[in-house]
Amino acid sequence: MKVTFLGTGTSQGIPIIGSNHPVCLSENPKDKRLRVSVMVEWDGLNILIDCGPDFRMQMLANNFSRLDAILFTHEHNDHVAGLDDIRPFFFRQGDIPIYAHQRVLNSLKKRFDYIFVTENKYPGAPGVKEHIVTDNDFEIEGKIITPVSYMHNRLQVYGYRMGDFAYLTDIKSISEKEAEKLKNLEVVVVSALRIEPHHSHFNLAEALAFIEKIQPKKTYLTHISHLLGFHEEVEQSLPENVHLAYDNLKITIDEK
């Protein structure tokens, strides 16, 4: 399994438009972060998690020409705004399978009504095939996906476990029962917004405490704000086997 970090920034991305913050002015490419998303390549399947406003540039930067499924975590704009840009994949492949909580599908239908209409659909609009995610495992072409439910302040979000890899973004709290699904991971990706506490995201200390609890072999932090600090400085401060993700980082996860 190969995972490409397409974007690792919080909702505004880094740099923030017009900001003079030193991290926004940094010339280190690792301090430039598009909105969060990963592509998971798993036995020939290209599974995208979230499809934010930077989706088009992310696909071009990484030369992806096929998309087998999109898993949505939740309906916030930084995770869904790129859905129209699946058009090149739709034109080549037909309807693109999307997986999301019913609530998230409802939100997508409001934002992108023209994608979901069945009558008099504009011929240039993309098409999707909807799948409702519940707390139960589901399959994509024989591969088992385990949804992991947690809270983003008062909003429910799904993270996803695939084999020994799990991706959890926009997390603030998780029940013991759901955390049980995160045992024996090779790699976990978890969001860590900044140093100071935040009402709907783990800050760095909360993310590290969570990792301590689930004990994955390796962790990558994502959904990073400029307020977390410079990539190189934060990276050096982290415990062993915990890293900051950065845009276009590719990692390989060996299957047991």
Window contacting Zn ion (CB under 5 A); options: 23-31, 92-100, 169-177, 242-250? 169-177
Least Å from the CB of residue 75 to Zn ion: 8
Least Å from the CB of residue 191 to Zn ion: 8
Interface with Zn ion (CB under 5 A), residue total 3
Report CA-CA distances (Å) from 26 to 10, 21, 137, 196, 226. 16, 9, 42, 21, 10
Work out whether 78 is an interface residue with Zn ion (CB under 5 A): yes
Residue whose CB is less far from Zn ion, 19 or 153: 153
CA-wise closest residue to 85 among 116, 60, 62, 68: 60
Q: Cα separation of 139 and 19, whole Å?
A: 43
On whether the CB atoms of residues 34 and 6 are closer than 8 A, the answer is: yes
Per-residue DSSP letters for 173-197? B--HHHHGGGTT-SEEEEE---SS-
Residue whose CB is less far from Zn ion, 77 or 215: 77
Residue whose CB is less far from Zn ion, 78 or 206: 78
The residue from 15, 23, 42, 76 that contacts Zn ion (CB under 5 A) is 76
Window contacting Zn ion (CB under 5 A); options: 62-70, 76-84, 85-93, 211-219? 76-84
Bridge partners (DSSP) listed for residue 167: 160, 189
Contacting positions for Zn ion (CB under 5 A): 76, 78, 170
